[in-house]
Amino acid sequence: MARYSVYNRHATLSSAVAAMHPMAYLYALQETDLAIDSLRQQIAQIDAQLGETEELIQLKTQVEATRKRIQQLHSQQRDLELETLSLQDKIKGVENKLYGGEITNPKELQGLLEDLQALKKQLSLLEDRLLTLMIEGDEQEKALRKQEERLSQVLTAWQEEQEKLKAERGQLEEQLRLLEAQRDAQVAQVAPPFLSLYEGLRARRQGRAVAKVERGLCGGCHIALPVSLVQRARTGSSPVQCSSCERILYVP
Ligand SMILES: [Zn+2]
Protein backbone atom coordinates (compact mmCIF):
# COMPACT_ATOMS: atom_id res chain seq x y z
CA MET A 1 0.00 0.00 0.00
CA ALA A 2 3.06 2.18 -0.14
CA ARG A 3 2.33 4.14 -3.29
CA TYR A 4 -1.31 5.01 -2.75
CA SER A 5 -1.52 5.04 1.05
CA VAL A 6 -1.51 8.78 1.40
CA TYR A 7 -3.21 11.13 -0.95
CA ASN A 8 -2.03 14.62 -0.15
CA ARG A 9 -4.59 17.21 -1.23
CA HIS A 10 -2.13 20.01 -0.74
CA ALA A 11 0.58 18.53 -2.90
CA THR A 12 1.62 20.40 -6.02
CA LEU A 13 -0.21 19.47 -9.20
CA SER A 14 2.51 17.23 -10.61
CA SER A 15 3.00 15.26 -7.44
CA ALA A 16 -0.79 15.11 -6.98
CA VAL A 17 -1.07 13.49 -10.39
CA ALA A 18 1.74 11.13 -9.57
CA ALA A 19 0.08 10.27 -6.30
CA MET A 20 -3.46 9.99 -7.65
CA HIS A 21 -5.44 7.26 -5.97
CA PRO A 22 -6.25 4.35 -8.36
CA MET A 23 -9.95 4.98 -7.77
CA ALA A 24 -9.46 8.58 -8.86
CA TYR A 25 -8.37 7.22 -12.25
CA LEU A 26 -11.47 5.06 -12.37
CA TYR A 27 -13.64 8.00 -11.40
CA ALA A 28 -12.07 10.14 -14.12
CA LEU A 29 -12.56 7.29 -16.59
CA GLN A 30 -16.21 7.15 -15.61
CA GLU A 31 -16.60 10.90 -16.26
CA THR A 32 -15.20 10.33 -19.73
CA ASP A 33 -17.41 7.31 -20.31
CA LEU A 34 -20.51 9.22 -19.22
CA ALA A 35 -19.61 12.05 -21.58
CA ILE A 36 -19.12 9.50 -24.38
CA ASP A 37 -22.51 7.91 -23.58
CA SER A 38 -24.17 11.29 -23.74
CA LEU A 39 -22.50 12.17 -27.06
CA ARG A 40 -23.50 8.85 -28.58
CA GLN A 41 -27.07 9.44 -27.43
CA GLN A 42 -27.10 12.89 -29.01
CA ILE A 43 -25.71 11.47 -32.26
CA ALA A 44 -28.39 8.76 -32.26
CA GLN A 45 -31.06 11.42 -31.72
CA ILE A 46 -29.74 13.35 -34.71
CA ASP A 47 -29.64 10.19 -36.81
CA ALA A 48 -33.30 9.65 -36.01
CA GLN A 49 -34.04 13.14 -37.36
CA LEU A 50 -32.01 12.75 -40.54
CA GLY A 51 -33.94 11.73 -43.64
CA GLU A 52 -37.30 12.76 -45.01
CA THR A 53 -40.05 13.69 -42.58
CA GLU A 54 -43.55 12.24 -42.65
CA GLU A 55 -44.87 15.64 -43.77
CA LEU A 56 -42.41 15.87 -46.64
CA ILE A 57 -43.19 12.35 -47.85
CA GLN A 58 -46.93 13.07 -47.70
CA LEU A 59 -46.58 16.32 -49.63
CA LYS A 60 -44.46 14.66 -52.32
CA THR A 61 -46.99 11.84 -52.65
CA GLN A 62 -49.82 14.35 -52.90
CA VAL A 63 -48.11 16.40 -55.62
CA GLU A 64 -47.31 13.20 -57.51
CA ALA A 65 -50.97 12.07 -57.32
CA THR A 66 -52.30 15.44 -58.49
CA ARG A 67 -49.88 15.49 -61.44
CA LYS A 68 -51.00 12.01 -62.41
CA ARG A 69 -54.66 13.03 -62.19
CA ILE A 70 -54.02 16.06 -64.41
CA GLN A 71 -52.33 13.84 -66.99
CA GLN A 72 -55.32 11.49 -66.93
CA LEU A 73 -57.71 14.41 -67.38
CA HIS A 74 -55.70 15.75 -70.31
CA SER A 75 -55.66 12.41 -72.03
CA GLN A 76 -59.42 11.91 -71.45
CA GLN A 77 -59.97 15.42 -72.77
CA ARG A 78 -58.03 14.66 -75.96
CA ASP A 79 -60.05 11.47 -76.50
CA LEU A 80 -63.31 13.34 -76.05
CA GLU A 81 -62.20 16.10 -78.39
CA LEU A 82 -61.43 13.53 -81.08
CA GLU A 83 -64.79 11.88 -80.50
CA THR A 84 -66.46 15.27 -80.75
CA LEU A 85 -64.73 16.04 -84.04
CA SER A 86 -65.74 12.76 -85.60
CA LEU A 87 -69.30 13.23 -84.36
CA GLN A 88 -69.40 16.74 -85.85
CA ASP A 89 -68.24 15.27 -89.18
CA LYS A 90 -71.00 12.70 -89.01
CA ILE A 91 -73.55 15.41 -88.28
CA LYS A 92 -72.29 17.45 -91.20
CA GLY A 93 -72.64 14.39 -93.46
CA VAL A 94 -76.20 13.78 -92.36
CA GLU A 95 -77.08 17.47 -92.73
CA ASN A 96 -75.63 17.51 -96.24
CA LYS A 97 -77.77 14.53 -97.18
CA LEU A 98 -80.78 16.02 -95.47
CA TYR A 99 -80.55 19.46 -97.01
CA GLY A 100 -78.67 18.67 -100.20
CA GLY A 101 -81.87 18.07 -102.13
CA GLU A 102 -80.82 14.69 -103.52
CA ILE A 103 -83.10 12.78 -101.21
CA THR A 104 -86.73 13.50 -101.64
CA ASN A 105 -88.39 10.46 -100.16
CA PRO A 106 -90.23 11.80 -97.07
CA LYS A 107 -89.75 8.57 -95.16
CA GLU A 108 -86.05 8.62 -95.85
CA LEU A 109 -85.90 12.32 -94.93
CA GLN A 110 -87.72 11.61 -91.69
CA GLY A 111 -85.19 8.87 -90.93
CA LEU A 112 -82.30 11.25 -91.58
CA LEU A 113 -83.89 13.87 -89.34
CA GLU A 114 -84.19 11.37 -86.52
CA ASP A 115 -80.54 10.33 -87.03
CA LEU A 116 -79.54 13.97 -86.92
CA GLN A 117 -81.40 14.56 -83.66
CA ALA A 118 -79.86 11.48 -82.08
CA LEU A 119 -76.35 12.56 -83.16
CA LYS A 120 -76.88 16.08 -81.84
CA LYS A 121 -78.04 14.70 -78.52
CA GLN A 122 -74.91 12.54 -78.41
CA LEU A 123 -72.81 15.59 -79.24
CA SER A 124 -74.40 17.61 -76.48
CA LEU A 125 -73.66 14.82 -73.98
CA LEU A 126 -70.05 14.71 -75.17
CA GLU A 127 -69.72 18.46 -74.77
CA ASP A 128 -71.10 18.24 -71.24
CA ARG A 129 -68.56 15.58 -70.38
CA LEU A 130 -65.80 17.65 -71.92
CA LEU A 131 -66.82 20.68 -69.89
CA THR A 132 -66.87 18.65 -66.67
CA LEU A 133 -63.37 17.38 -67.44
CA MET A 134 -62.10 20.87 -68.15
CA ILE A 135 -63.56 22.20 -64.89
CA GLU A 136 -61.93 19.42 -62.93
CA GLY A 137 -58.68 20.04 -64.83
CA ASP A 138 -58.71 23.70 -63.78
CA GLU A 139 -59.37 22.77 -60.17
CA GLN A 140 -56.59 20.22 -60.18
CA GLU A 141 -54.16 22.72 -61.72
CA LYS A 142 -55.00 25.23 -58.99
CA ALA A 143 -54.61 22.56 -56.30
CA LEU A 144 -51.29 21.49 -57.82
CA ARG A 145 -49.89 25.02 -57.70
CA LYS A 146 -50.82 25.29 -54.01
CA GLN A 147 -49.38 21.87 -53.22
CA GLU A 148 -46.14 22.64 -55.08
CA GLU A 149 -45.80 25.93 -53.25
CA ARG A 150 -46.29 24.22 -49.89
CA LEU A 151 -43.87 21.44 -50.87
CA SER A 152 -41.24 23.96 -51.86
CA GLN A 153 -41.57 25.80 -48.52
CA VAL A 154 -41.41 22.60 -46.51
CA LEU A 155 -38.51 21.31 -48.61
CA THR A 156 -36.47 24.49 -48.09
CA ALA A 157 -37.02 24.44 -44.32
CA TRP A 158 -36.26 20.74 -44.23
CA GLN A 159 -33.01 21.15 -46.19
CA GLU A 160 -31.85 23.93 -43.85
CA GLU A 161 -32.69 21.79 -40.84
CA GLN A 162 -30.87 18.79 -42.30
CA GLU A 163 -27.77 20.86 -42.97
CA LYS A 164 -27.82 22.13 -39.40
CA LEU A 165 -28.25 18.62 -38.05
CA LYS A 166 -25.39 17.31 -40.19
CA ALA A 167 -23.10 20.10 -39.02
CA GLU A 168 -24.06 19.44 -35.41
CA ARG A 169 -23.48 15.74 -35.92
CA GLY A 170 -20.01 16.47 -37.31
CA GLN A 171 -19.12 18.50 -34.23
CA LEU A 172 -20.38 15.77 -31.91
CA GLU A 173 -18.38 13.17 -33.83
CA GLU A 174 -15.29 15.33 -33.44
CA GLN A 175 -15.84 15.62 -29.68
CA LEU A 176 -16.45 11.90 -29.53
CA ARG A 177 -13.13 11.15 -31.23
CA LEU A 178 -11.30 13.37 -28.74
CA LEU A 179 -13.02 11.72 -25.79
CA GLU A 180 -12.30 8.27 -27.15
CA ALA A 181 -8.62 9.14 -27.40
CA GLN A 182 -8.77 10.48 -23.85
CA ARG A 183 -10.46 7.26 -22.75
CA ASP A 184 -7.70 5.14 -24.31
CA ALA A 185 -5.13 7.12 -22.33
CA GLN A 186 -7.13 6.77 -19.12
CA VAL A 187 -7.70 3.04 -19.57
CA ALA A 188 -3.94 2.59 -19.82
CA GLN A 189 -3.68 3.93 -16.25
CA VAL A 190 -6.04 1.34 -14.78
CA ALA A 191 -5.06 -2.18 -13.74
CA PRO A 192 -6.88 -4.77 -15.92
CA PRO A 193 -8.76 -6.49 -13.04
CA PHE A 194 -10.04 -3.11 -11.82
CA LEU A 195 -11.09 -2.30 -15.35
CA SER A 196 -13.14 -5.47 -15.76
CA LEU A 197 -14.81 -4.89 -12.38
CA TYR A 198 -15.55 -1.35 -13.51
CA GLU A 199 -16.97 -2.45 -16.90
CA GLY A 200 -19.17 -5.11 -15.31
CA LEU A 201 -20.59 -2.67 -12.75
CA ARG A 202 -21.09 0.00 -15.38
CA ALA A 203 -23.22 -2.39 -17.40
CA ARG A 204 -25.35 -3.25 -14.35
CA ARG A 205 -25.57 0.22 -12.81
CA GLN A 206 -26.69 2.48 -15.65
CA GLY A 207 -23.17 3.55 -16.55
CA ARG A 208 -22.15 4.48 -13.01
CA ALA A 209 -19.70 2.00 -11.53
CA VAL A 210 -17.83 4.38 -9.28
CA ALA A 211 -19.50 6.37 -6.49
CA LYS A 212 -17.97 9.36 -4.81
CA VAL A 213 -18.10 9.24 -1.02
CA GLU A 214 -19.24 12.52 0.48
CA ARG A 215 -19.83 13.11 4.20
CA GLY A 216 -19.70 9.36 4.71
CA LEU A 217 -22.51 8.69 2.22
CA CYS A 218 -22.29 6.56 -0.91
CA GLY A 219 -22.85 8.92 -3.86
CA GLY A 220 -24.52 6.07 -5.76
CA CYS A 221 -27.23 4.90 -3.39
CA HIS A 222 -26.88 7.47 -0.60
CA ILE A 223 -26.64 5.06 2.29
CA ALA A 224 -24.40 5.92 5.23
CA LEU A 225 -21.23 3.84 4.94
CA PRO A 226 -19.41 2.31 7.88
CA VAL A 227 -16.41 4.43 8.86
CA SER A 228 -14.08 1.45 8.49
CA LEU A 229 -15.26 0.90 4.91
CA VAL A 230 -14.67 4.55 4.03
CA GLN A 231 -11.25 4.30 5.65
CA ARG A 232 -10.36 1.25 3.58
CA ALA A 233 -11.63 2.94 0.43
CA ARG A 234 -9.49 5.98 1.20
CA THR A 235 -6.27 4.23 1.97
CA GLY A 236 -6.42 0.89 0.16
CA SER A 237 -5.08 0.45 -3.33
CA SER A 238 -7.73 -2.08 -4.38
CA PRO A 239 -11.37 -1.28 -5.11
CA VAL A 240 -13.69 -1.23 -2.09
CA GLN A 241 -17.35 -1.62 -3.00
CA CYS A 242 -20.46 -0.14 -1.38
CA SER A 243 -22.18 -2.79 0.74
CA SER A 244 -25.54 -1.75 -0.67
CA CYS A 245 -25.18 -0.86 -4.38
CA GLU A 246 -21.81 -2.56 -5.00
CA ARG A 247 -20.35 0.51 -6.67
CA ILE A 248 -16.65 1.11 -6.29
CA LEU A 249 -16.15 3.77 -3.65
CA TYR A 250 -13.98 6.74 -4.42
CA VAL A 251 -13.07 9.05 -1.54
CA PRO A 252 -11.85 12.34 -2.96
ZN1 LIG B 1 -23.94 2.59 -2.66
pLDDT tens-digit profile of 179-225?
A: 999 999 999 989 999 999 999 999 999 999 999 999 999 999 999 99
Q: Ligand 1 mean position to 218 CA, how many Å?
A: 5
Q: Ligand 1 mean position to 110 CA, how many Å?
A: 110
Specify if 5 maps to a domain: no
Q: Are residues 122 and 39 in the same domain?
A: no
Residue pLDDT, tens place only, 98-149: 999 888 899 999 999 999 999 999 999 999 999 999 999 999 999 999 999 9
Domain boundary among 146, 174, 202: 174
Q: Are residues 76 and 135 in the same domain?
A: yes
Of 152 and 20, the one with more pLDDT: 152
Specify if 117 maps to a domain: yes
Domain boundary among 149, 174, 199: 174
- The residue type found at 168 is E
pLDDT given at position 21 = 84
How large is the average pLDDT for residues 18-28? 84
**pLDDT for residue 77 is more than 50:** yes
pLDDT given at position 20 = 80
Strands 210-214 and 248-250: parallel
Domain boundary among 125, 146, 174: 174
Q: Are residues 122 and 210 in the same domain?
A: no
Specify if 8 maps to a domain: no
Q: Are residues 27 and 91 in the same domain?
A: no
Q: What is the CATH number of the domain that holds 237?
A: 1.10.287.1490
Q: Ligand 1 mean position to 207 CA, how many Å?
A: 14
Q: Ligand 1 mean position to 111 CA, how many Å?
A: 108
Residue 188, CA distances (Å) to 94, 140, 183, 184, 197 in order: 103, 69, 9, 6, 15
Q: What is the CATH number of the domain that holds 127?
A: 1.10.287
Q: Ligand 1 mean position to 36 CA, how many Å?
A: 23
Q: Ligand 1 mean position to 242 CA, how many Å?
A: 5
pLDDT given at position 143 = 98
Q: Are residues 88 and 167 in the same domain?
A: yes
Edge-to-edge strand list for the sheet holding 210-214: 217-218, 210-214, 248-250
Q: Ligand 1 mean position to 248 CA, how many Å?
A: 8
pLDDT given at position 19 = 63
Q: Ligand 1 mean position to 151 CA, how many Å?
A: 55
Q: Are residues 219 and 242 in the same domain?
A: yes
Q: Ligand 1 mean position to 232 CA, how many Å?
A: 15
Q: Of 137, 124, 144, nearest to 78 (Cα)? A: 137
Number of separate domains in the chain: 2
Q: Ligand 1 mean position to 199 CA, how many Å?
A: 17
pLDDT given at position 8 = 37
Q: Ligand 1 mean position to 190 CA, how many Å?
A: 22
- Is the separation of the CB atoms in 250 and 23 below 8 Å? yes
Specify if 160 maps to a domain: yes
Q: Are residues 238 and 132 in the same domain?
A: no
**pLDDT for residue 12 is more than 80:** no
Domain interval for residue 54 = 50-174
